[in-house]
A and B are shown apart, each in its own frame.
Chain A
Amino acid sequence: MLRWLARRIIAAALVVFVVTSLVFVVTHVFTDPATVSLPLEATEEHRADRRAALGIDRPLAVQYWDFVSGLVVGDLGESFWQDQPASKLVLERLPATLKLVAGATAVTVLLAAPMGMLAAWWERRFADHAVLGFSMASISAPPFWIGYLLIIVFAVQLGWVPTFGSRGFVSLILPSFAIGLASAGRLAQMTRRGIVEELRKPYAVTALSRGFSRSYTIVHHTFRNVASGFVTMTGWELTRMFTGYTVVIEVVFAWPGVGRLAIHAIENRDLILVQAAVVVLATLVVVTNLLVDIARRMIDPRVELA
């Protein structure tokens, strides 16, 4: 188990390295931070000056070496929009994003697992149809729209929670739901399908034939067997959150996270800062996948120690 873990961690580190190198290629080979940062009508001289200032007039190999050695010590370059180290700016915003993702994940899991089990329990009955309806609605509605809807109803009309910003736990509720509802919808359907399928399997039929109730069999026998898929899917949902939903929802709710920072960086043509945000988010995705693998290994003893 420990050796397996060590191998998985090294593999994850390699993936982070490859991904960040790709980011470097995109920002330095296909374009360059200096050009991007200047208006289109800037003169060639102007650009050369900016390049020299940013150190990107040097050979690519040298720049890449700089980038990599910076990466190792957590230096992701200077943001010229904010005039501060990019890593500092991103890391300052990171807790807000992590809180948001944690909230959204809680919403996802706490809604999806019971809804999926309920739908399977009442297969083809009212509760099943109701859960399906919820899933279809939440999956097809874009998160920003769900976000707006939630703001209008709960913040503006009812005044239960603040409209935007991050002021403690209460302000976390709406954006978490805005992100988590669609994920919960997808996961609930997956859980339902998995449990219904498992309930037909001989081991579940055996459990029922021994006199265990349908609810006991669902919770104690079949859910365990869909848990591995559940965790994997939750991991994918987290990936979607890191790479898309949080960005949108942070803008809608004026949430001071990494996603909103990235949007501002783009607006201000700060390629270095964008790059730093992407590197951090990509790392989070890789770490998520690592955690998913570990969780699956703990749930299912048959998962190969590959």
Chain B
Amino acid sequence: MSTTNGDGRTERLLEVKDLTVGFPTRDGIVRGVDQLTLNVGSHERLGVVGESGSGKSVMGLAILGMVLPPGRIMGGSVRWRGEDVLDPAVAGRVRGREIAMIFQDPMVSLNPLKTVGSQLRELLKRRVGLQGPAIRRRSLELLDMVGIANAGERLRAYAYELSGGMRQRVMIATALACEPTLVIADEPTTGLDVTIQDQILALLHDLSTELGMSVLMITHDLGVVAQFCDRVQVMYAGRIVERAPINEMFTDPQHPYSLGLLHSVPRVDRDDGELTGIPGEPLDRAQFPPGCAFEPRCNEAQDGCRDAPPPLLKIAERRWVACYNRPAAGSP
């Protein structure tokens, strides 16, 4: 059901290079995101999968130039249509209007003390520049777009008066308010009923097609990726370990971690789709080794793996892997 655009026709929108975000802790600086490189083109739906703590949310915020304290962007660059998003002036323009984020927890991501209407109004007024009756008209239109019936009444509702699915729809409406070109959806279906999850995903899919938006879908659920994305990258310990077109990722995963992931998901339609069943402990970020972060759990590990993290190398057309056991394209 996913639509892939020919490579030549897509325009580069987002270019993230070597992005590193550090959090000072007692045991030194933990890199929530480590030398991350990623590109999103126009009309593209890119998935990012990884287990809990792999740095997906940190990545999502860092793309907007945001880090929760005490974190800090330690290096790398984020460019939006060539402009540096880490420059606060550019960030101020890009946030919301070019790139809008939908967050993990719709229960708490809306202001509890503002009505749906006032949260839309402030966006339309301050970020879009609408005035007077146009604001209300557009608010109703947005709620309608995200499939909320009784829009007029819902404008007066507070978040606590809405169901989880409804809140996530409102969240999506606020993301669409400024007609962004890219939507970053950070586990947009967490905590929702399975049927609602499907509805929300279908909604996002349809909206991205209709409005021509790109989507960066963050999830730990491979089922979501399979349904939604054109391309996927696998994250482990803050790094991208594999990147591939969606079909190839499922038919021919390369990185040992990706292999483990896919084996741990016997059926794509499983309810929870949690990434479990990989031998070894889930990663403890405070003490991951200096070499490949997956080494302690890897069944293909060799001596060299412990020395330095393996670089993300191209192994075939549109395929990238970070593993010493997967020779890069062209090398013997």
Q: A: which residues have CB within 8 A of B?
A: 123, 200-203, 205-213, 216, 220-221, 224-225, 299-302
The reply to whether A211 and B113 contact each other, CB–CB distance below 8 Å, is no
Indicate if B61 sits at the interface (CB-CB under 8 A).
Answer: yes
- Chain B binding surface, main DSSP class: loop
Q: How far apart are the CA atoms of A302 and B114 in the complex, in Å?
A: 11
What is the minimal beta-carbon distance from A123 to any residue of chain B, in angstroms? 8
Chain B residue numbers with a CB within 8 Å of A123 are 69
Residue contact B61 to A299, C-beta cutoff 8 Å: no
Chain A contacts of B105 at CB under 8 A?
202
- Would B69 and A200 count as touching, CB distance under 8 A? yes
Question: 1/0 contact trace for B58-95 toward A, CB 8 Å?
Answer: 00010010101100000000000000000000001111
Interface residue B126 (Cβ < 8 Å from any Cβ of A): yes
Please tell me which one of the listed residues A200, A208, A225, A302 contacts residue B111 in the complex, with CB atoms under 8 A apart. Answer: A225
Q: Is the CB of A205 within 8 A of B61?
A: yes
The answer to whether B103 touches A202 (Cβ under 8 A) is yes
Is B68 a contact partner of A210 (Cβ separation < 8 A)?
A: no
**Contact (Cβ within 8 A) B96 A209:** yes
With CB as the reference atom, state the residue of chain B lying closest to A212: B126
The answer to whether A206 and B112 touch (CB under 8 A), given A211-B95, A211-B96, A212-B126, is no
Ordered by A's residue number, 8 sampled pairs between the chains whose C-beta atoms are within 8 Å are: A203-B109, A205-B66, A206-B174, A210-B95, A211-B92, A211-B94, A212-B122, A302-B112
A236 to B326, CA, bound (A): 67
- With A200-B68, A202-B103, A203-B108 as known contacts, state yes or no: A213 contacts B178, CB within 8 Å: no
- CB neighbours of A302 from chain B (8 A): 112, 158, 160
- The CA of A225 and the CA of B93, in the complex, are separated in Å by 26
Are B112 and A209 in contact, with the CB atoms below 8 A?
no
Determine if B101 and A209 form an interchain contact, defined as CB atoms under 8 angstroms apart.
Answer: yes
Q: How far is the CA of A203 from the CA of B68 in the complex (A)?
A: 13
Give the A-binding residues of B (Cβ under 8 A): 61, 64, 66, 68-69, 92-97, 100-101, 103-105, 108-114, 122-123, 126-127, 158, 160, 171, 174, 177-178
Which residue in chain B gives the minimum CB-CB distance to A222? B111
The residues of A that contact B97 with a CB separation of less than 8 Å are 211
Which one, A202, A207, A213, A216, contacts B108 given CB within 8 A? A202
* Count of A-B contacts judged by CB separation below 8 Å: 74
Q: A206–B122 contact, CB under 8 A?
A: no
Nearest-Cβ distance from residue A207 to partner chain B, whole angstroms: 7
Query: 9 closest pairs, A vs B, by CB?
Result: A211-B96, A210-B96, A211-B95, A202-B109, A203-B111, A202-B108, A209-B101, A206-B109, A224-B113
CA distance in complex: A31, B160 (Å): 55
Whether A213 touches B111, Cβ cut-off 8 Å, given contacts A206-B101, A301-B158, is no
Can you name 12 extra interface pairs (CB under 8 A) apart from A210-B177, A224-B111? A202-B103, A202-B104, A208-B95, A209-B61, A209-B103, A210-B96, A211-B127, A212-B126, A299-B113, A301-B158, A302-B112, A302-B160
Which residues of A sit under 8 angstroms from B123, Cβ to Cβ?
210
Shortest CB distance B229–A (Å): 22
Enumerate chain B residues within 8 angstroms of A209, measured Cβ to Cβ: 61, 64, 66, 95-96, 100-101, 103
Minimal Cβ-Cβ distance residue in A for B158: A301
Complex Cα gap A212–B174 (Å): 13
In the complex, what distance in Å separates the CA atom of A211 from the CA atom of B65? 11
A205 to B96, CA, bound (A): 12
B83 → chain A closest CB, angstroms: 14
A225 contacts which chain B residues (CB < 8 A)?
Answer: 111-113
A64 to nearest B CB, angstroms?
Answer: 47
Question: Distance in Å from the Cβ of A287 to the closest Cβ of chain B?
Answer: 26
CA distance A211 to B126 in the complex (A): 9
Cα distance A205–B184 in the bound complex, in angstroms: 14
Distance to closest chain A CB from B184 (angstroms): 9
Contact A210 B110 (CB under 8 A): no
Contacts of B111 in A (CB 8 A): 203, 207, 221, 224-225
Q: Is the CB of A201 within 8 A of B127?
A: no
Complex Cα distance, B93 from A201, in Å, reads: 23
Taking CB atoms, residues of chain A closer than 8 Å to B68 are 200, 205
B274 vs chain A, min Cβ distance (A): 22
Name which residue of chain A comes closest to B108, CB basis: A202
A202 to B191, CA, bound (A): 15
Residues of A within 8 A of B171 (CB): 206
Write out the residue numbers on chain B whose beta carbons fall within 8 Å of the beta carbon of A200.
68-69
The CA of A98 and the CA of B104, in the complex, are separated in Å by 50
Q: How far is the CA of A202 from the CA of B111 in the complex (A)?
A: 9
Specify the chain A residue showing the minimal Cβ separation from B177: A210
Smallest distance from the beta carbon of B56 to chain A beta carbons, Å?
15
The residues of A that contact B66 with a CB separation of less than 8 Å are 205, 208-209
B158 contacts across to A, CB distance below 8 A: 301-302
Q: How far is the CB of A200 from chain B (nearest CB, A)?
A: 6
Q: Which residue of A lies closest to B63 (CB)?
A: A209
Residue of B nearest to A207 (CB): B111
**Residues of A with C-beta under 8 A to B112:** 203, 225, 302
Closest CB in chain B relative to A205 CB, distance in Å: 7
In whole Å, how far is B179's beta carbon from the nearest beta carbon of chain A? 13
